[in-house]
Amino acid sequence: MSTTIDTKTVKANPRPAAEEAPAKSKGYWHGVGARLIRDPVSMICAGLLALLLGAVVFAPLLPLADPFTGSMVSRLKPIGTEGHILGTDELGRDMFARLIYGGRLTLMLGLLPVAFAFAIGTCLGVLAGYVGGWLNTAIMRTVDVFFAFPSILLAIAISGALGAGIVNSLVSLTIVFIPPITRVAESVTASVRSLEYVDAARISGAHPLTVVRVHVLGNVMSPIFVYATSLTSVSMILAAGLSFLGLGVKPPEPEWGLMLNTLRTAIYIDPVLAALPGAMIFLTSLCLNLLSDGLRSAMNIKD
Amino acid sequence: MLAYTLQRLLYVIPVAFGVSVICFMLVHIAPGDPLTAVMPIDATAEQQAAMRAEYGFDRPLPVQFAIWLTNALQGDLGASIATGRPVASEVSRAVGNTLILAFTASLIGFPLGIFFGFVAGIFKDTLIDRAVTAFAITGVSVPNYWLGIVLVVIFSVTLGWLPSMGAGPGGSTNWAWDYEHLRFIILPAVTLAVVPMGIVTRTVRALVGDILSQDFIGALKAKGLSRFGVLRHVVRNVTPTTLSVVGLQLGYLLGGSILIETVFNWPGTGFLLSNAIFQRDLPLLQGTILVLALFFVFANLIVDLLQPLVDPRIKRG
Amino acid sequence: MFLKPLRSAALAVATVALLSTSALAAGTLRVGMTASDIPLTTGQTDQGGEGMRFMGYTVYDSLINWDLSSADKPSTLTPGLATEWSTDPEDRTKWTFKLREGVKFHDGSDFTADAVVWNLDKPLNDQSEQYDTRQAAQGASRIPSIASYKVVDPLTVEIVTKAPDATLPYQIAWIMFSSPANWEANGKDWEKVAANPSGTGPWKLTSFVPRERAELVPNTDYWDENRIPKLDKMVLIPLPEPNARSSALLSGQVDWIEAPAPDLVPALEGNGFEIVSNAYPHNWTYHFSRLEGSPWNDINVRKAANLAIDRAGLKQLLGGLMIEAKGFMPPSSQWFGNPEFDVKYDPDAAKEYLAKAGYGPDKPLTVKALISPSGSGQMLPLPMNEFIQQNLAEVGINVDFEVVEWNTMINIWRAGAADPSAQGAQSINFSYFIQDPFTGLIRHLSCDLIAPNGTNWGHYCDPEMEDLFKQIRNTFDPAEQDKVLQKTHEKYVNDALFLFVAHDVAPRAMSPKVKGFVQAQNWFQDFSTISIEE
């Protein structure tokens, strides 16, 4: 499980991106897009992820079995059973439907904490980097304290104390991802701030918010965004791990980590069936990682 | 240099204090009564109140924190609610076992990761590179607790080659580095090493590829520097970042073992933590997290202190 | 699909085991427990029934023990450290216990009347030096009736109860006697005693690693020659995770596991492992709220629900590992009696009863039920509850679940149905230890014990029942007392006071090498008869 957030390496090289252009022009994004399209691996991954995303978003519209009701008589049916294309789980519920509905929660727990942390961390980091002084010290030293915890440990500690539940998982994962994003944002902002033209804009009396919006955010967003993409797979695997431990989503809600847990005893009955949720986590995470790699090289950000 | 070292050393104090505040607060963000899980099911109201007083849960928060911190500084982390045993002795025994596992996993993961990273970096954009990268990214993407279960089914149950659980034939107390004991650590250590190996591989590959593509390498080659000489150059440039990534991964090995230890019944801190969580044994949760976080703080301190020694470019202070 | 390679694997495992276990003495039994820790070793154990099973009745004795020698009949009480006990016919609160002569603790010190008083002070008297919060937390609530106790002579102890209470022997059977001399020798520190405990039981603890393992060896000087263990050693290993437990058994690391997951039973049996099970006093039920407005106040609704459950289907779901409930006690219990209401699966009769109560297809009944996804003794709570939900829906009772965490559930159970935490739920799904008259019958329905003062969750209070409870406490002849208990249970069933669903059968899986185990119909077991055939 990739649970490491190695900001040190990200932090070490924010400049190439920042120095590239004062603000990203249309041409730049065209270039990124063109490079990405020429990368077959990224395109396949993006396609698979789009398919999955579509399926989970529109799940209620799809002709799926009810993921919550099953029959005890038809429990643990193998893959390919009539009416249950991917078999049934330990309560006789349709696996295919549960995997799709499970993807909703798993993906949500992958995306939302990172999105929240992205918003909060970027604000904190830009604030710290732009204003500097005591505010920088206050924010960054607090961040340092959270950094003193290995990320998975922090997530487990907070979830463990708060107890199981979707909201608690969201809270604990968001807290885990705020510090690294803040750090990246701060360091990129600080380096952008010291660039001559930003300095010039500040001295020329431009409104601080305008300076931040035009010059800082424009430069800061893309490295942070790429970094955040790579965190999504970390977040998803962590969330599934929490559910696996019984700290995340509560039954009977379908979630891949939890399904993996409850199907554990079925491993001696139908190992392939028991492995399905694990395979889903693996494939999704693999696609996210590959896509993030592709994005990174397309944007010419070094890792 | 000395100033940097001193500054870095002193900086540990506020961080450690912050860490202790967070650990302390863990018990108090928890909903419900921490004693629920351990009181006999038909305990009377008086028995419950008596237990609450015994554990000091009836005092104001800052007082509790002051007492807890003072005790913690003297090595007393309170008593486990579930077992009544001192948390410090529970944690110290478990930390030893986790360190054995983490150490073995790093012996497997780091050298392999560095090796694969170098190979992929040197042969960048070839078939070898692609294979290695695919392998590394698979390692990073697979949920390792699941990998652990699969390995047990294959190697313990079906093939019967390796034990499925525990830390040695007689428990962890008489651990030894002989085959009888190492058999027990192979599966958990391999499972645990997969992620750090993947990450180190990816980092080293990127660094090596990056340096080899830089102009000065070409210049060095042109000047007639031997292959070995070039390699030495690359190593020197790659070491600092690799070191910091390895430092971060140590944290992963310490904290990330919770799921692995649960799967393999390995009596370390992760095993302790999951027990603490399920019995809602908050003092134990608190103490274990504190000790692990402090370990991580010191691991990072050491990495940071080593950094200027190995990095030819940085002059800090 | 795993079974074939497994079978040959079992051979391979056996070979490996032979090669690698040569260091172990012949006749070592390695047990995988469901507890996540070694139960408290100092005397009064924690970890519920499993704790008493492995660390209570092994290392220790009580004045009165459970007779665990038979698998065919319900266990009864038998003399332990006391050879006889009686009450004063003039003053029924006065009990005299005659102690067994010549019993020694493992540390060599004598078991005397002083030791009995000392051990009663241990959980009851917080002024005494040996008072131990942890043992008190486990022991004090087990002997609520005791008012005082004193030494009469070195082999006689007198115990006085607060009111006449014929159930005292059952209460006493909970109390484990540890050696005072050993406690002195360990610096009066229970923490040190934990690593080096001393009882009078058939097993001695020789090695103890918290959370990992405990090793027990026979006490060859045990006072009951028939219960001197045959094994050389018994090793206890906490393995809380069901899969890890089964893997350990399949890979030959343990010889015996408690509570294999029902889904794994076929795989275990297919590989030559034996599944042993038996009835024991356990009960999985819906405890009804009897507050005003609860639909369960209507006996017709209660009977309808009881007739709606397809217990045979449920048994199939559990791989056969349950007993279909016919009442609150298992059918084999000595206190079952002859109730007139036959608890069975009869949906048509259920619909009739429901119609009598004024509900029907046009006017379905909706009830709210508290359930938890896990919990000790809860068997497979989610699948079982969903099954029951379907059954009840078929006759016209719609169940809305309120799913809460197990620890929350315990708190709600303690607080009672009227507490806001119960969220207006009209039943709680709980499983009960019902081994003695108090835990089995009295505590659930006594007026004095209405929650939160006691464990009468549903606020039931009925003068007729109250009178029966009084009779139980005042009938000092065991055979007569059993008759009153039967009458009480008959009322439980005839009035359909609970939703009677299932009894667990305490399944355990063991290697074919394990011989001579007799599974008593009890929460506790005797390990003395076991041997390992190499």
Enumerate residues 191 to 220 of chain B having a beta carbon within 8 A of any beta carbon in chain A: 195-196, 198-199, 202-203, 206, 210
Mean pLDDT of C373-388: 82
Question: Is B159 within 8 Å of C134 when comparing Cβ atoms?
Answer: no
Domains of chain C: 10-59+201-275+508-532 (3.40.190.10), 66-180 (3.90.76.10), 282-503 (3.10.105.10)
Question: Is A153 within 8 Å of B277 when comparing Cβ atoms?
Answer: no
pLDDT value for B311: 67
Higher-confidence residue: A172 or B80? A172
Question: Is B152 within 8 Å of C247 when comparing Cβ atoms?
Answer: yes
DSSP per-residue letters across chain B: -HHHHHHHHHHHHHHHHHHHHHHHHHHHHS-S-TTTTTS-TT--HHHHHHHHHHTTTTS-HHHHHHHHHHHHHTT---B-TTT-SBHHHHHHHHHHHHHHHHHHHHHHHHHHHHHHHHHHHHTTTSHHHHHHHHHHHHHHHS-HHHHHHHHIIIIIIIS--S-SSSSSBTBGGG--SSHHHHHHHHHHHHHHHHHHHHHHHHHHHHHHHHHHTSHHHHHHHHTT--HHHHHHHHHHHHHHHHHHHHHHHHHHHHHTHHHHHHHHT--SHHHHHHHHHHTT-HHHHHHHHHHHHHHHHHHHHHHHHHHHHH-SS----
Distance from CA of A22 to the nearest CA of C (A): 54
Is the pLDDT assigned to residue B309 strictly greater than 90? no
Give the rounded percent of residues in chain C with a pLDDT score beyond 90. Answer: 69
Q: pLDDT digit string (tens) for C253-278?
A: 999 999 888 888 888 898 899 999 99
Domain-embedded: residue A49: no
Question: Is A6 within 8 Å of B199 when comparing Cβ atoms?
Answer: yes
Outline where C340-380 has alpha helix (H).
Answer: 347-356
Task: Report whether C95 contacts C159 (CB < 8 A).
Answer: yes
Give the rounded percent of residues in chain C with a pLDDT score beyond 70. Answer: 95
Is the pLDDT assigned to residue C5 strictly greater than 60? no
Name the range with the highest mean pLDDT among A3-12, A274-283, B69-78, C459-468: C459-468
Domain-embedded: residue A69: no
Enumerate residues 211 to 240 of chain B having a beta carbon within 8 A of any beta carbon in chain C: none
Tokens coding C378:
């809860």
d(CA A141, CA B185) in angstroms, rounded, equals 38
Partner-chain residue, chosen from A4, A157, A281, that has the shortest CB–CB distance to B248? A4
Mean pLDDT of B231-247: 83
Question: Is A2 within 8 Å of B276 when comparing Cβ atoms?
Answer: no
Q: pLDDT digit string (tens) for A218-264?
A: 777 777 777 777 788 888 888 888 888 878 887 678 889 888 888 88
Is the pLDDT assigned to residue B250 strictly greater than 90? no
Suggest the residue from A88, A255, A268 to mutate for an interface test with chain C (most C CBs closer than 10 A): A268
| pLDDT tier, A19 (very low <50, low <70, confident <90, very high otherwise) | very low
Partner-chain residue, chosen from A233, A241, A264, that has the shortest CB–CB distance to B141? A233
Question: Is A91 within 8 Å of C383 when comparing Cβ atoms?
Answer: yes
- HSE at residue B297, side-chain half, CA atoms within 13 A, is 23
ipTM score of complex: 0.80
Contacts of C248 in chain B (CB under 8 A): 164-166, 265
Name the range with the highest mean pLDDT among A261-265, B71-75, C24-28, C300-304: C300-304
Q: Which is it for strands C274-276 and C323-324: parallel, antiparallel or unpaired?
A: unpaired
Token look-up 């003695």 returns C436
Strand, helix or coil for residue C185? helix
Is the pLDDT assigned to residue C309 strictly greater than 80? yes
Structurally, chain A folds into a number of domains equal to 1
Which chain C residue's Cα is nearest to B84?
C134
| pLDDT tier, C421 (very low <50, low <70, confident <90, very high otherwise) | confident
Distance from CA of B231 to the nearest CA of C (A): 46
d(CA B242, CA B257) in angstroms, rounded, equals 22
Mean pLDDT of C12-40: 66
Is the pLDDT assigned to residue C108 strictly greater than 80? yes
pLDDT value for A229: 77
| pLDDT tier, C156 (very low <50, low <70, confident <90, very high otherwise) | very high
Which chain A residue's Cα is nearest to C3?
A268
Q: Which of B128-132, B249-253, C108-112 has the lowest mean pLDDT?
A: B249-253
Q: pLDDT digit string (tens) for C469-498?
A: 999 999 999 999 999 999 999 999 999 999
Domain-embedded: residue A68: no
Distance from CA of A279 to the nearest CA of B (A): 8
Q: Which is it for strands C365-371 and C427-433: parallel, antiparallel or unpaired?
A: parallel
Enumerate residues 60 to 89 of chain B having a beta carbon within 8 A of any beta carbon in chain C: 82-86
Is the pLDDT assigned to residue C13 strictly greater than 60? no
Higher-confidence residue: B53 or C310? C310
Q: Which of B147-156, B224-233, C220-229 has the lowest mean pLDDT?
A: B224-233
Mean pLDDT of A7-34: 52
Touching B (3+ Cβ pairs <8 A), the chains are A, C
Enumerate residues 419 to 448 of chain C having a beta carbon within 8 A of any beta carbon in chain B: 443
| H/E element, C148 | strand C146-153
Partner-chain residue, chosen from B32, B41, B164, that has the shortest CB–CB distance to C408? B32
Touching C (3+ Cβ pairs <8 A), the chains are A, B
Q: Map out the domains of chain B as residue ranges.
A: 94-316
Is the pLDDT assigned to residue A99 strictly greater than 80? yes
pLDDT value for C14: 44
Enumerate residues 286 to 345 of chain C having a beta carbon within 8 A of any beta carbon in chain B: none
What phi and psi, each to the nearest 5 degrees, are found at residue A195? -65, 150
pLDDT value for C8: 45
Residue B60 CB-density burial (10 A; 0-12 exposed, 13-18 middle, 19+ buried): exposed
Distance from CA of A181 to the nearest CA of B (A): 16
Question: Is A268 within 8 Å of B146 when comparing Cβ atoms?
Answer: no
Give the structural domain span for A253.
92-299
Question: Is A164 within 8 Å of C405 when comparing Cβ atoms?
Answer: yes
Contacts of B301 in chain A (CB under 8 A): none
Question: Is C253 within 8 Å of B164 when comparing Cβ atoms?
Answer: yes
Mean pLDDT of A109-126: 91
Nearest to C371 by CA among B34, A252, A264: A252
Is the pLDDT assigned to residue A20 strictly greater than 60? no
Tokens coding C453:
């003062």
Q: Which of A220-224, B207-211, C462-466 has the lowest mean pLDDT?
A: A220-224
Nearest to C505 by CA among C344, C337, C314: C314
Question: Is C137 within 8 Å of B44 when comparing Cβ atoms?
Answer: no
Q: Which of A160-164, A238-242, C218-222, C344-348 has the lowest mean pLDDT?
A: A160-164
Suggest the residue from B93, B164, B277 to mutate for an interface test with chain C (most C CBs closer than 10 A): B164
Residue C308 CB-density burial (10 A; 0-12 exposed, 13-18 middle, 19+ buried): buried
Question: Is B203 within 8 Å of A149 when comparing Cβ atoms?
Answer: no
Q: pLDDT digit string (tens) for C117-131?
A: 999 999 999 899 999
Question: Is B29 within 8 Å of A278 when comparing Cβ atoms?
Answer: no
Report CA-CA distances (Å) from C496 to A3, C268, C304, C502. 54, 38, 9, 14
Is the pLDDT assigned to residue B67 strictly greater than 60? yes
State whether CATH 1.10.3720.10 applies to domain B94-316: yes
Which chain A residue's Cα is nearest to C5?
A268
Kindly give the interhelix angle for A151-162 and A166-193, rounded to the nearest 10 degrees: 140
Contacts of C263 in chain A (CB under 8 A): 76, 90, 265-266, 268-269
> What's the whole-number average pLDDT of chain B?
83
| pLDDT tier, C284 (very low <50, low <70, confident <90, very high otherwise) | very high
Q: pLDDT digit string (tens) for C494-527?
A: 999 999 999 999 999 999 999 999 999 999 999 9
d(CA A241, CA B261) in angstroms, rounded, equals 13
* Cβ-based interface (< 8 Å): residues of A facing C: 72, 75-76, 90-91, 163-164, 246, 250-252, 264-271
pLDDT value for C210: 86
The single-letter code of the amino acid at C22 is S
Interface size between A and B, measured as CB pairs under 8 A: 172
pLDDT value for B139: 86
Name the range with the highest mean pLDDT among A29-38, A179-188, B288-297, C490-499: C490-499
d(CA C377, CA C282) in angstroms, rounded, equals 8
Is the pLDDT assigned to residue B252 strictly greater than 70? yes
Partner-chain residue, chosen from A76, A252, A265, that has the shortest CB–CB distance to C243? A265
pLDDT value for A301: 56
Nearest to A188 by CA among A59, A57, A16: A16
Contacts of B208 in chain A (CB under 8 A): none
CB atoms within 10 A of CB C240: 18
pLDDT value for A15: 39
Mean pLDDT of B140-165: 87
Is the pLDDT assigned to residue A84 strictly greater than 70? yes
Mean pLDDT of C35-44: 89
Distance from CA of A213 to the nearest CA of B (A): 32
Question: Is A246 within 8 Å of B252 when comparing Cβ atoms?
Answer: no
Instruction: Indicate which CATH number applies to the domain containing A175.
Output: 1.10.3720.10
B138 interfaces chain C, CB cutoff of 8 Å:
no
d(CA B248, CA B199) in angstroms, rounded, equals 11
Q: pLDDT digit string (tens) for B17-35?
A: 999 998 888 877 776 666 6
Indicate the DSSP class of residue A81. Answer: B
Residue B179 CB-density burial (10 A; 0-12 exposed, 13-18 middle, 19+ buried): exposed
pLDDT value for B40: 59
Question: Is B150 within 8 Å of A275 when comparing Cβ atoms?
Answer: yes
User: What residues contact residue A162 under an 8 Å CB cut-off, 6+ apart?
Assistant: A168, A171, A172, B29, B30, B31
Name the range with the highest mean pLDDT among B146-155, B200-209, B263-272, C330-339: C330-339
